[in-house]
A and B are shown apart, each in its own frame.
Chain A
Amino acid sequence: MILAFVAIAARVVWIQGPGAGRYLAVGQSEWTHTVTLAGTRGSILDANGDELAMSIPQTTIYADPHQVSDPKGEAAQLAPALGQSVTGLVSKLTESAGFVYLARTVDDATAAKVAKLNLAGVYSMQEPKRFYPAGQLAQPIIGLVGTDGTGLGGLESKYNSILQGKPGKLIEQTDPQGRQLPGGLQEYKAPVSGQDLVLTIDESLQYDAEQALAKAIVAAGAKSGIAMLMDTKTGDILADANLTMPGPGIPSTIPAVPISIPAPSSVSSGSASTTPTPQVQPVEAASASAFTQVYEPGSVNKLITISAALQQGVIKPSDIFTIPNTYDVAGTTFHDAEPHATEHWNVTDILANSSNIGTTQIAQRLGKTQLLKYIGDYGEGKKTDIDFPGESRGLLPSYWSGTSIADVPIGQGIGVTAVQMLAAYNTIANGGVYVAPRLVAGTIGSDGVEHTTPITPGHRVVSPKVAAEMTTMLDEVVRVGTGTAANLSPYTVAGKTGTALVPLAGHYEAGHYVASFAGFVPSEDPSITAMVVINDTLDYGAAASAPTFATIARDALQQRKIPPHAPLPPAPGVPLATTATATGAGEVAGTPLPGLSPAANVAATVPTTPGSKGAIAPTTSATVPQRQRTTPTTAASQAG
Chain B
Amino acid sequence: MNQPARHLRRPEAAPRRPAPEVPRHLRVVDRSERSPAQRQRRARMILVSGIAAAVVVMFSLVYLHVVMAQRQIELDKMSSLASTRQSQYQALRLKVAKLESPQQIISTAEGKLGMRQPAAVTYVAPPAWATAAGATSAGATSAGATSAGAASAGAGSSQGRVGGRSTPDAAASGHTPPGTVAAPAGDADWPRIKAELAGRP
A and B: real partners?
yes
Which residues on A are within 8 Å of B, measured CB to CB? Answer: 50-51, 54, 56-57, 108, 126, 131, 133-135, 137, 179-183, 203-204, 206-208, 258, 260-262, 264-266, 273, 475, 479-480, 487, 489-490, 492, 554, 558, 563-570, 576
Give 17 CB contacts A-B under 8 Å: A51-B97, A126-B83, A134-B103, A182-B69, A182-B72, A207-B102, A262-B119, A273-B119, A479-B165, A489-B148, A490-B148, A566-B131, A566-B142, A566-B146, A567-B144, A567-B154, A569-B166
Taking the closest CB of chain B, its distance from the CB of A49, in whole angstroms, is: 10
**In the complex, A479 Cα to B162 Cα: how many Å?**
9
Contact of B39 with A by CB under 8 A? no
Contact of B93 with A by CB under 8 A? yes
Chain B contacts for A207, CB-based, 8 A: 102-103, 106
A50 and B100 contacting across the interface, CB-CB below 8 Å = yes
Taking the closest CB of chain A, its distance from the CB of B26, in whole angstroms, is: 54
- Which residues of chain B in 58-102 are interfacial with respect to chain A, using CB atoms and an 8 Å cutoff? 65, 68-69, 71-72, 76, 83, 86-87, 90-91, 93-94, 97-98, 100-102
Chain A contacts for B119, CB-based, 8 A: 262, 264-265, 273
Contact of B186 with A by CB under 8 A? no
Question: What's the tally of chain B residues with a CB closer than 8 Å to chain A?
Answer: 52
Chain A contacts for B146, CB-based, 8 A: 490, 563-566
Q: Which residue of A lies closest to B158 (CB)?
A: A569
A182-B68, A260-B106, A565-B146 in contact; A266/B120 too (CB < 8 A)?
yes
Interface of A is mostly: loop
Residue from A133, A258, A568 with most neighbouring chain B CB atoms (10 Å): A133
Residue from A126, A137, A489, A554 with most neighbouring chain B CB atoms (10 Å): A489
B102 and A262 contacting across the interface, CB-CB below 8 Å = no
A203 and B102 contacting across the interface, CB-CB below 8 Å = yes
Chain A contacts for B65, CB-based, 8 A: 182
- Which residues of chain B in 117-171 are interfacial with respect to chain A, using CB atoms and an 8 Å cutoff? 117-121, 123, 125, 131, 135, 142-149, 151, 153-157, 159, 161, 163-166, 168
A567 and B120 contacting across the interface, CB-CB below 8 Å = no
A264 and B106 contacting across the interface, CB-CB below 8 Å = no
Chain B contacts for A180, CB-based, 8 A: 72, 76
Contact of B107 with A by CB under 8 A? yes
Residue from B97, B146, B154, B166 with most neighbouring chain A CB atoms (10 Å): B97
Q: Which residue of A lies closest to B146 (CB)?
A: A564
Contact of B110 with A by CB under 8 A? yes
**In the complex, A570 Cα to B165 Cα: how many Å?**
9
A260-B110, A266-B120, A566-B131 in contact; A490/B151 too (CB < 8 A)?
yes
Chain A contacts for B148, CB-based, 8 A: 489-490
**In the complex, A118 Cα to B154 Cα: how many Å?**
80
Chain A contacts for B101, CB-based, 8 A: 50, 133-135, 137, 203
**In the complex, A211 Cα to B48 Cα: how many Å?**
91
Our pick among B90, B98, B107, B159 for the contact of A133 (Cβ within 8 Å) is B98
Q: Which residue of B lies closest to A257 (CB)?
A: B103
**In the complex, A505 Cα to B80 Cα: how many Å?**
63
B159 and A54 contacting across the interface, CB-CB below 8 Å = no
**In the complex, A273 Cα to B153 Cα: how many Å?**
35
A137 and B103 contacting across the interface, CB-CB below 8 Å = yes
B103 and A261 contacting across the interface, CB-CB below 8 Å = no
A181 and B163 contacting across the interface, CB-CB below 8 Å = no
B166 and A568 contacting across the interface, CB-CB below 8 Å = yes
Residue from B90, B100, B103, B135 with most neighbouring chain A CB atoms (10 Å): B103
A54-B93, A569-B157 in contact; A260/B118 too (CB < 8 A)?
no
A566 and B154 contacting across the interface, CB-CB below 8 Å = yes
A203-B102, A569-B159 in contact; A490/B166 too (CB < 8 A)?
no
Taking the closest CB of chain B, its distance from the CB of A584, in whole angstroms, is: 13
**In the complex, A565 Cα to B138 Cα: how many Å?**
13
- Which residues of chain B in 35-67 are interfacial with respect to chain A, using CB atoms and an 8 Å cutoff? 65
Residue from A264, A273, A475, A566 with most neighbouring chain B CB atoms (10 Å): A566
